[in-house]
Amino acid sequence: MSSTENLSDVTTGTSTTPEGSDSTDDKAGTGNVGYADSRDTTEGRVYTVSGGDWDDVLADAQHDERMVINMGPQHPSTHGVLRLVLEMEGETVTQLRSVIGYLHTGIEKNCEYRTWTQGVTFVTRMDYLAPLSTEMAYCLGVEKLLQIEAPRRAQLLRVLLLEINRIGSHLVYIATGGMELGATTAMTLGFREREEVLHLLEHLTGLRMNHAFIRPGGLAQDMPADYREKVTDFVKTMKKRLPLYDKLFTGQPIWRNRLKGVGYLPVDACLALGVTGPVLRSAGLPWDLRKTEPYSCYDEFDFDVPVDNGADCWSRYLIRVHEMHESLKIIEQCLEKLEPGPVMVEDKKIAWPAQLSIGSDGMGNSLEHVKKIMGQSMESLIHHFKLVTEGFKVPAGQAYASVESPRGELGVHLVSDGGTRPLRVHVRDPSFVNLQSMPAMAEGGLVADVIAAIASIDPVMGGVDR
C-alpha cells in the first residue's frame, strides 16, 4: 500500500483510510508505530499527532520535550526592537536569551567622523527617553580632556534639565509597564503627564527630544526670559498629579500582587552582573552617582535616594515613583540657587556657537550678530567659520565621565589624539548592562512574568544597540 493512501482528502476533509484500520499499525512501513510520527529538527524533536487519545500522546513524549518560542521583536510589549528566545516547559520559563542588534545605529563610530561638538547630536539619540543624560556624560568627558569647567549657571541649569528629564522617563516606565500588564489607564495618565514634561523641555531647549542643548563648555544658549515661571507652573502641576499614581497603583491590590515577588534579583546578583539604577537600589544598596560621586553641583542639593529591600518589580515601581518626588525637590532648589551669569566658558576657541543670538524667526542668527561678524570684523568671521566647520582641538588623552541616568550609571569613555575629532567614543549604557539580568529574573518563573520583569528594568533599545 502506498504511504499517500493514508492521507486525508484535502478537498473534502474526509478520511480516506480503509475502514477499520488502526492508526497504530505500521502498514506504511515507515517504522513509526504509535499515535505521533516524529522527526528531528534543528530546534529539537517535532511530533505530528494524528488521532488517538491526547493523554496517551503526551505520555509517549515522556514529558522531556521543551518548547522554544520567540517573544518579539515588537513594540511596546518588549520595549522596542528586543527579541527574547524562551525555552519553556508548559508556562514555566526554563531558559531565556536576549537577542539584540536590530537598531544598529552605529552612533559611537559615527562620532569619530564628526567634531567634538557635533558628537552631542549623535549621543543624544541613544537613550531617547533621557537624551539629556547622555549629552551630560559626553560633555563632562570632553570637559575633562579640555581641563575646563562649565560656569556655575550652566551647571545648575544642567541639573534642572536632567531632573525634568528624569521625571519624564519614569512616567514612560509607568505608562508602558502598566499597559503591558493590562492597566491601560496607566498609559493614558503617564503620557498625559509626559506631555507636560516635553512641552516644558521644548520651551526651554527648543526641542521635545534629542535636544543637543548641553554642549562642551556649557549650554547652547541661556534659558528664555519666562523660564522661572514655566518651571514653577510645571512643579505645581506635577505635585497635584503625582499623588494620583499612588491612589491608582500603590494602593491597588491587583497591581501590588502582580508585581510583588516577580523578577527577584538580590543585591549580590546585581553586583555580579553590574546592574545599577533603580534595580540595584531596589535590592537595598543606596548607590546613586548624584550622592556617591557628585557632579555638576549635585553635592549642594538636599534630596533623598529612595531604597527598598524587596528586590522585585514592586520595589522598583515604588522607587521610581519616589524618585519623581525627589526630582521635584531638586528642581525647586535649582530655581532658588540660579543667579545671572554666563552659560558657556569664556574661551572663544571652545565656545560654540560663539555669541549666538536668535533671530526674529526663532531659528537663525540675529541681524546684529550677522552684521558684526560679516561687516565689521573679518577676524570674527574667519574664527566663526573655522570653529563651526573644523571644530576645536582637544588635547591628546583619554577620560571617563559618568552620570546617574534614570536607568543607572551612564558612562562615556573618550579617547583623543589631539585633533578636532574623537579617536574613540564608547558608552557604558545602563540599559545594555541591566538587560543581561533578564535570565536571572525570568528563569523559573511564568511566561507572563517575563513582561513584568522587562518593564521593571525599563530598557531603551536605542542605548542597547548604539
**Exposed/middle/buried for residue 128 (C-beta within 10 Å: 0-12, 13-18, 19+):** middle
What does the pLDDT read at residue 392? 85
- Specify the 3-state DSSP secondary structure of 116: coil
Work out the burial of residue 226: count CB atoms within 10 Å of its CB; fewer than 13 is exposed, 13-18 middle, 19 or more buried: exposed
pLDDT of residue 165: 94
Alpha-carbon distance of 130 to 76, in angstroms, equals 17
Q: What is the CA radius of gyration of the chain?
A: 29
Q: What is the pLDDT of residues 173-189, one digit of tens each?
A: 999 888 888 888 888 99
Cell numbers at residue 457, please? 528594568
In Å, what is the CA distance from 417 to each residue of 123, 136, 144, 172, 420? 20, 22, 14, 40, 9
Q: Which helix (H) or strand (E) holds 218?
A: strand 218-219
Q: What would the grid cell of residue 315 be? A: 520595589
Cell numbers linked to 38: 516524529
DSSP letters of 97-113?
EEE--SS---HHHHHTT
Which three three-digit cell numbers place residue 339?
543667579
| pLDDT for position 52 | 54
Determine what percent of the chain falls in helix, strand and coil, rounding each to the nearest 5.
45, 15, 40
Strand partners, 97: 85
Q: Which three cell numbers stand for residue 370?
A: 550677522
The Cα 266–Cα 437 span in angstroms is 11
Q: Supply the pTM of this predicted model.
A: 0.81
Contact 248, 262 (CB under 8 A): no
Distance (Å, whole) CA 123 – CA 390: 19
pLDDT at position 3:
44
Q: Is 191 exposed, middle or buried (0-12, 13-18, 19+ CB in 10 A)?
A: middle
Q: Which three cell numbers stand for residue 25?
A: 499499525
What is the helix (H) or strand (E) element at residue 454, kind and residue range?
Answer: helix 447-457
Task: Give, in degrees to the nearest 5, the angle at Cα 128 between 246 and 265.
Answer: 55
Residues of the chain under the 70 pLDDT cut: 1-36, 43, 47-65, 75-79, 352-370, 372-376
User: Which ranges constitute the DSSP H helices of 246-337?
Assistant: 253-259, 267-273, 278-281, 289-292, 313-337
**Closest residue by Cα to residue 149 from 216, 247, 91:** 216
Count Cβ neighbours within 10 Å for each residue of 86-117 and write b for 16 or more, e otherwise: bbbeeeebeebebebeebeeebbebbeebbbb
Q: Where are the alpha helices (DSSP H) in 47-183?
A: 54-61, 107-111, 119-123, 131-146, 152-180
List Cα–Cα distances, 203 to 195, 240, 333, in angstroms: 12, 21, 20
pLDDT 10s digits, 201-236: 999 988 888 988 999 988 888 888 899 999 999 999
Q: Which three cell numbers stand for residue 33?
A: 508505530
β-partners of residue 402 are 411
